[in-house]
Structure formats: structure tokens, C-alpha cells
């Protein structure tokens, strides 16, 4: 749990294999509410994450994020990362630092997991820039293309502006071409 104003928030860290059917269907509803028309009743978008943070209030899940523990490659260097996926909070409880509290928790988990960087993709960087993330510029990235539960090959694209990185320690994010060694989350 993180410090300060967020200590009273209930945020659970669960491995994906421990998520039961009740929680899975609650998650699917939360994701539909937060990302309308995107998840089509599933609790994941392209692939199940390795773990989740589930934020509860009065017994209900009111926020979540997925965690993908991932080795990526930048030029010839292998980097240990913790990826953040599909962060959301229900509309009625937004702007109360709940997403911030979940991101703080991610930073703690990244430290425990010895992940050098927390990484994510976002069209709107505002929340993340306030929480220690920086935009990676330039960001030439290749990844495994998955669409509608089918693998299509490898995509290479300039994703400058959407890749955000928060260092866990003091190491700067290395420059170079980024191979996600998996799908784009």
C-alpha cells in the first residue's frame, strides 16, 4: 500500500491465475463501463495479463490495472520492465487520486520485482506525467501484432508520444530501437 492520502484505499495485488469467475465477470463489467465497446464482454483486451491491481470500495471493484512482467530489448540490451495495462477507475470516483494510488503501488511492485522500468502506452499522458513517467522520444518499436484474437506478424512503427516510462531506480531509459518481445499492451 502506498503512503499519505492513499493509505485508506483498498488495492489488492492478485496473480491472474487466482482470479475466480465472479471477479472475472465483475472485471468485464468494469472494463465495459470504462472503455465502452472495446472489451466485448472479456476481462482482457488482447491477452490475459500476469497479474492485476484491483481497487475495491464497499466490496465492489471500482478500479483496476493489468500488470505484464516483461523483458524487452533495446538494440542489444535486455531490459526488465513491468507493464501497466488498461488502467481505469469508475466514472463516479474519478479525480480522487485513485489511479495515482494504483500507479504508486505499481512502483512498489516494480521495485520488489527488480524491474528497471514501469512502462505503458497512452494517448493522453497527463495522469502519467504527474506520476513520474516520461515520454520516450524517439520511440521506434516492434511488436507482435494481435488483432481479434489472431496473430498477424510483426509490426514496426514510430510510437513517439505514446510510450511512457517511469524508472524504478536511477538508471536512464536507454536510447535505441525497442523490441517489445511480445504484443503491444
Ligand X SMILES: CC(C)(COP(=O)(O)OP(=O)(O)OC[C@H]1O[C@@H](n2cnc3c(N)ncnc32)[C@H](O)[C@@H]1OP(=O)(O)O)[C@@H](O)C(=O)NCCC(=O)NCCS
Grid coordinates in use for 14?
492478485
Residue of 48, 28, 26 lying closest to 38 (CA atoms):
28
Shorter beta-carbon distance to ligand X: residue 20 or 124 = 124
96 binds ligand X (CB under 6 A): yes
Site residues (CB under 6 A) for ligand X, limited to 109-128: 122, 124, 126-127
Asked whether 135 and 123 are in contact (CB, 8 A), the reply is: no
DSSP state of 172: P
89 binds ligand X (CB under 6 A): yes
Instruction: Count CB-CB contacts under 10 A for residue 65.
Output: 24
57 binds ligand X (CB under 6 A): no
SS3 157: strand
- Interface characters, 127-156, with ligand X (x: CB under 6 A): x-----------------------------
Residue of 160, 148, 69, 56 lying closest to 109 (CA atoms):
69
Residue of 32, 28, 71 lying closest to 52 (CA atoms):
28
SS3 178: strand
Among 23, 57, 97, 140, binds ligand X (CB under 6 A): 97
94 binds ligand X (CB under 6 A): yes
Nearest distance in Å: CB 75, ligand X:
27
87 binds ligand X (CB under 6 A): yes
Among 70, 98, 105, 166, binds ligand X (CB under 6 A): 98
Shorter beta-carbon distance to ligand X: residue 3 or 77 = 3
Summarize as ranges the residues that interact with ligand X (CB under 6 A).
34-35, 87-89, 94-100, 122, 124, 126-127
Amino acid at each position: 500500500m502506498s503512503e499519505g492520502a492513499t493509505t485508506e484505499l483498498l488495492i489488492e495485488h492478485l496473480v491472474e491465475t487466482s482470479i475466480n469467475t465472479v471477479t472475472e465477470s465483475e472485471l468485464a463489467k468494469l472494463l465495459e463501463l470504462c472503455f465502452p465497446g472495446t472489451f466485448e464482454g472479456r476481462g482482457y483486451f488482447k491477452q490475459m495479463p500476469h497479474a492485476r491491481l484491483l481497487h475495491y470500495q464497499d466490496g465492489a471493484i471500482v478500479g483496476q490495472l493489468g500488470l505484464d512482467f516483461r523483458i524487452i530489448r533495446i538494440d542489444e540490451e535486455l531490459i526488465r520492465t513491468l507493464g501497466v495495462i488498461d488502467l481505469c477507475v469508475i466514472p463516479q470516483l474519478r479525480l480522487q487520486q485513485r489511479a495515482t494510488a494504483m500507479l504508486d503501488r505499481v512502483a512498489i511492485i516494480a521495485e520488489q520485482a527488480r524491474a528497471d522500468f514501469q512502462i505503458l502506452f497512452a494517448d493522453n499522458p497527463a495522469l502519467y506525467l504527474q506520476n513520474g513517467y516520461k515520454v520516450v522520444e524517439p520511440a521506434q518499436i516492434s511488436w507482435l501484432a494481435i488483432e481479434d484474437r489472431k496473430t498477424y506478424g510483426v509490426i514496426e512503427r514510430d510510437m513517439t508520444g505514446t510510450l511512457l516510462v517511469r524508472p524504478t531506480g536511477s538508471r536512464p531509459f536507454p536510447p535505441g530501437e525497442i523490441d517489445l518481445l511480445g504484443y503491444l499492451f
